[in-house]
Amino acid sequence: MQATDPSQAGLTDPFGRAVTYLRVSVTDRCDLRCVYCMAEDMTFLPKKDILTLEELDRLCGAFIALGTDKIRLTGGEPLVRKGVMALVRSLGARIGEGGLRELTLTTNGTQLTRMAEDLFAAGVRRINVSLDTLDPATFAAVTRWGRIEQTLDGIFAAKAAGLAIKINAVALKGVNEGEFDRMVAWCGEHGFDLCLIETMPMGEISGDRTDQYLPLSLVRSRLRRTWTLEDTDYRTGGPARYVTVKETGRRIGFITPMTHNFCESCNRVRLTCTGTLYMCLGQDDAAEFRELLRDPSVDDAGLAQAIRDAIARKPRGHDFVIDRRRNRPAVARHMSLTGG
């Protein structure tokens, strides 16, 4: 009987959950400044602190060898990173038996008019696009710098290129809570799924998150006044729980870290652009890989062992909470650094 190579065995955390999904932030930079994600006057990381694309590729390859079958590239805005398509093409070449099942991307859509066809050619088949509103004035207010026409043009360029699209919208009290019926109808018209997300207490922003927070349990009950929401077993490997809208045939996902802890089925870890691996979005415990990647004495076996050691520290769940008694974020780092 042939011996099993331990470096090829899968990753399992202390609670028996298989870790098969890696989210990779390729940059902390973004061309927008969404109010729930960043401060307007962000200070970004110096280039020397950022992993090179080759370092990111090597570390992703180590995860794939350990059983990771889904990678999502995020940011910041991943498509503003110079040369990022080289990484996309390298990871796309790993799609297939014994490698990746899926390579996906989360984007704000601003760069898609020029990059959507290249993404499809590289093996990406499904993307998430952040779009919190269909109202141009509200879009400008939420993103601070954005023009909705640029994002919409990108979305339709991606559709024309053959990419399946899911629209991500953060539910913000008093901002877009009156728009969700319109967004459901618009997504149905154009063949997009929709994912609604509760705002998360990450990073210092200007403003009070208790003023932003809108529970999705309330949103869902309001949607039921207009739409027939049918339960489904559909899953993408992420934290969203889906329903099908009977009238449109499209799906709505709900990501509810505040009103429903989704940690029991967590299969993912997050790698920042600096080489920090967070085993939980809502915890600060992390493993550092930048120095390992830059140490010529650390071979692939050493890298694999460091990954295993990190997964062995994955916690049961997060520490997210939003209330007025805790006027600081549960996690100090911004989502743009962690990987949205």
Is 200 annotated among the ligand-binding residues? Answer: yes
Is 166 annotated as a binding-site member?
Answer: yes
Is 268 assigned a ligand-binding role in the annotation? Answer: yes
Please check if 270 is assigned to a binding site. Answer: yes
Give ∠ CA 334-89-44 in degrees, rounded to 5.
25
DSSP string, 100-133: BSEEEEEE-STTHHHHHHHHHHHT--EEEEE---
37 is annotated as contributing to ligand binding: yes
Residue 316 known to bind ligand: no
The verdict on whether residue 294 carries a ligand-binding annotation is no
Sign of CA dihedral 241, 311, 37, 329: positive
Annotated ligand binding at 23? The verdict is yes
72 labelled ligand-binding: yes
183 in a labelled binding site: no
At CA 186, angle to CA 183 and CA 191, rounded to 5?
120
Determine whether the annotation assigns residue 130 to a binding site: yes
Q: How far apart are CA 240 and CA 261, in angstroms?
A: 11
**Coil, strand, or helix at residue 255?**
strand
The answer to the question of whether 106 is labelled as a binding residue is: yes
Strands 126-130 and 102-107: parallel
Identify the bridge partners of residue 287 per DSSP, sorted by sequence position: 277
Q: Indicate the annotated binding residues for [4Fe-4S] cluster.
A: 30, 34, 37, 263, 266, 280
Q: Indicate the annotated binding residues for GTP.
A: 23, 72, 106, 166, 268-270
Q: Indicate the annotated binding residues.
A: 23, 30, 34, 36-37, 72, 76, 106, 130, 166, 200, 263, 266, 268-270, 280
Q: Indicate the annotated binding residues for S-adenosyl-L-methionine.
A: 36, 76, 130, 200
